[in-house]
Amino acid sequence: MTAAARLREDATRRRLAALGLPEGGAWANAARRAALERLAAMGLPVRRDEYWRHTDPATLNAPEAAAAELPDGAAPPAFDAIDSLRLVFVDGVFAPERSDDPRLAGVEIERLSEAATRDIHWARELYGTLEARGQDPVARPFAALNSAFATDGALIRASAAAERPVALIYLRESEASDAILHHCVKVEPGASLTVLEAGPGAARLNTVLEVEVAEGAAFHHVRVQGRDPARRSVTHLFGRIGAAARLKSFTLTKNGALTRNEAVLELAGAGGSAHVAGAALGDGAFHHDDTVFVTHAAPGCESRQVFKKVLRRGATGVFQGKILVRPAAQRTDGYQISQSLLLDEDCQFLAKPELEIYADDVKCSHGSTSGAIDETALFYLRARGVPRAEATDLLVLAFVAEALDEIEDDRLRAEVLARLEGWLTRHRS
């Protein structure tokens, strides 16, 4: 056995010893057992894995979550001002008394732990299915671990245009909470739904969001991973986009000791569209990793990946992004950009953009840059009377604008922008 294999086996054994498969799920039991088998076969990641070269998985592998100081101040969670249906999770446990009545015209909303006990349920076809598909060609062990051990989460099915977004609000009250949440979303043909997510809400949080966007349907996802400097989280978004369907996901990350956000999207029907974007702002002990894998499996689809990172005082940003174009996916339009703005010299940005193309009628472009604030532009603004700090903020906002533009809804974009501006004001040099 190689050294890496031994490390992997050891990490997997120690982690699994600390967990038990949840009981009492009819259809879910089978899905959990299958996920556990997947996990056992692949093992947890180690630093030597190519996919984890830039992000150390040790703290995510550890049997217990390291204590993370609670964020100070009682800042309201993101999307407080947005008219939405709120589902509140405290340290990874659904809190019905703090949530809204889960009734929304054209939308079914259930709790995973309750739906799992029923014999027949629509989520049976979805739970763990997209996660399992997403394990090939690259293993995503934390997602398999999530499917096996998640006890809570939301199951949401939209069969019409939802009139309000559903907001998943994660709150944290414990210093050492270790939460695993698994959500499934199905947007039926022609329907549309927006799901919001706010806050990591645990010292260590592992979330999986599986989304099936049926023919002609639209799914929007806007997430704010907020002011919680010491927490760690690993998240996966698995999306399968049908013919002429659309998926758009945007994430704002502010602080956090470790964040790994993976998005695994499959354009499965002709004329589909998948956009995934993110803006990450880090100051000091901040490690942020965006790992994206977009598969074009059908003709005439369009995809965009837009990731911007603003790094201060030793913060680290990672981007691994791939576009895979299968032979059937003629007339693919793929775009990928990852950029970082290094506000201090000791920050680093590691990028690994990849294209793998098997069709011949394809338009794909990718770019990756990192650099400091443009001193010429800064002087120009100052020469017009804008003080240095404000001028810097203006240039930072200009830098992240392309990612923010991926949020379609004006009010949601304004909400995210306000959070971003707040961070900039609090983190001036």
Which spans of this chain sit near other proteins (rule: CB under 8 A)? 374-377, 379-388, 390-391, 394-395, 397-399, 401-402
User: Which residues are paired to 370 by β-bridges?
Assistant: 340
Shortest Cβ distance from residue 221 to other proteins (Å)?
Answer: 24
Shortest gap between Cβ of 408 and other proteins (angstroms)? Answer: 19
Nearer to other proteins, 375 or 410 (CB): 375
* Short-list 286, 333, 275, CA closest to 309: 286
Residue placing its CB nearer to other proteins in the complex, 87 or 400: 400
Nearer to other proteins, 211 or 403 (CB): 403
Minimal distance in Å, beta carbon 212 to other proteins? Answer: 35
Nearer to other proteins, 21 or 395 (CB): 395
Q: Are 116 and 26 in contact (CB under 8 A)?
A: yes
**Measured from the CB atom, is 177 or 340 closer to other proteins?**
340
| CB 169, CB 175: distance < 8 Å | no
Going by the DSSP 8-state scheme, the letter that residue 427 receives in this structure is: T
- Give me the least distance between CB of 37 and other proteins, in Å please: 48
Least distance to other proteins from the beta carbon of 312, Å? 19
Nearer to other proteins, 114 or 405 (CB): 405
**Distances from the Cα of 274 to the Cαs of 9, 220, 278, 300, 399, in angstroms?**
36, 10, 14, 12, 22
Kindly provide the residue ranges of all beta strands, DSSP E only, lying in 60-177, ordered along the sequence.
85-90, 93-94, 107-111, 154-158, 166-171
Q: How many Cα atoms within 13 Å fall on the side-chain side of residue 408?
A: 13
C-alpha to C-alpha distance for 116 and 128, rounded to whole angstroms: 13
- Kindly give, in sequence order, each residue whose CB lies less than 8 Å from that of residue 300, ignoring residues fewer than 6 positions away: 270, 271, 330, 331, 332
Kindly state the smallest distance separating residue 222's Cβ from other proteins, in Å: 20
> Least distance from C-beta 306 to other proteins, angstroms?
13
Minimum separation from the CB atom of position 6 to other proteins (A): 49
Taking alpha carbons only, the member of 247, 179, 245 closest to residue 208 is: 179
In 18-47, which ranges are continuous DSSP H helix? 26-42
**Residues shown for the chain:** 429
Nearer residue to other proteins within complex by CB, 20 or 385: 385
Burial 305-315 (b: 16+ CB within 10 A, else e): bbbbbbbbbeb
SS3 category, 79: coil
Which C-beta is closer to other proteins: that of 136 or that of 375? 375
Joined tokens for residue 70? 């609670």
